[in-house]
Amino acid sequence: MVDVGLCLEALSALSGCSVQQSGGASLLGPQDFVNIVALRQFYKREGLQQLEYPSLGSLSLRDETVNLDMNDLYSAPPALQGPEPDAKTVIHINPGDFFDRHYDYDFSNVKDGEQRFVRGNEPYFRPCGWRRVALKVSGQYDDGSDVWLGTGSQAWPVSYQGLHMDGSLILTRRKGSEEDGGLDEVAQSLMDTSAFGRGVYSTPDVLLAEKYCKTFKSKIDGKTYKVLLQNRISPSKRKVCQRDRVWVVYVPQDHSQVQTKALVQESVRPYGLLLKEA
């Protein structure tokens, strides 16, 4: 079982905040971490300097930089910051009401080979090589149903989200070519929202997500880890990009921050924190 302290370090790396253990109720839930990870990238691309988030206040984006060089995808951007210029926002969570450890799964030595899995009529590429810490999300949504989390045709497809995932995903390869790193008609269509679009990006391919993941060095064991979020994505909200294996939830131009947050919440739901030694 993954150490709780290591899980908190992983959440800190993803959110840019200082996530600390609490004996009381968690300040934020798993859905909030998806929102923060997705929205920090979205608003940075929009050129905004602050992310307003309920219960946390204003989180600064001014010092965050994202290096799109494929050889430096693991570089760590400065943390989201609270009112003090050099102080990380502190988030207290109770592991007992945040994680669902009965559903943890160790994929670190699993090799699926030719086996095929499906979630919501979409191929499910299991996170082989990773350890998954389950998040407590069952029964946590207003509809009261966990169909989205199941394995049947009404379930939502699985997507993976790394810290550096945004519209640059469609610029790293030519359309239809995984071998050629040049740009083609995709670069010419950046102004077309159907091709690039302002939105929240993820991928069903854990290998692609790994290239855009966050890494951190643990103070607990001194090892360096990669971290991703494993989500389910609404099939009605998700659109397929020009680049294969890239999905986006489009955000309309006239959406406020409140509306954008609501859109993310109804479109992308987390259920696993993934960790792997770098």
Alpha-carbon distance of 13 to 33, in angstroms, equals 11
Predicted model pTM: 0.83
Return the DSSP state at 163. Answer: T
Q: What are phi and psi of 43, to 5 degrees?
A: -75, -30
Which domain covers residue 27, as residue numbers?
A: 4-277
Cα distances (angstroms) measured from residue 183 to each of 13, 130, 165, 215, 251: 31, 32, 18, 28, 25
The pairing of strands 268-277 and 224-233 is antiparallel
- Cβ contact 91:37 at 8 Å: no
The tokens of 233 are what?
């994505």
User: pLDDT for 26-60, tens place per residue?
Assistant: 989 999 999 998 888 888 878 887 888 888 887 76
Candidates 277, 244, 1, 267; CA nearest to 125 is: 244
Please report, in tens digits, the pLDDT of each residue of the chain (278 residues total). 899 999 999 999 998 889 999 999 998 999 999 999 888 888 887 888 788 888 888 776 754 433 333 333 333 444 444 444 446 788 999 999 999 999 999 999 999 999 999 999 999 999 999 999 999 999 999 877 899 999 999 999 999 998 777 666 655 443 444 444 433 443 343 334 444 568 899 999 999 999 989 999 999 999 999 999 999 999 999 998 777 788 999 999 899 989 999 999 999 999 999 999 99
- Cβ contact 262:35 at 8 Å: no
The tokens of 48 are what?
């905004």
Provide the residue count of the chain.
278
Alpha-carbon distance of 2 to 106, in angstroms, equals 9
**Run of H or E residues at 57:** strand 57-60
Looking at the structure of the chain, the number of domains it has is 1
Alpha-carbon distance of 161 to 221, in angstroms, equals 25
The tokens of 64 are what?
């965050």
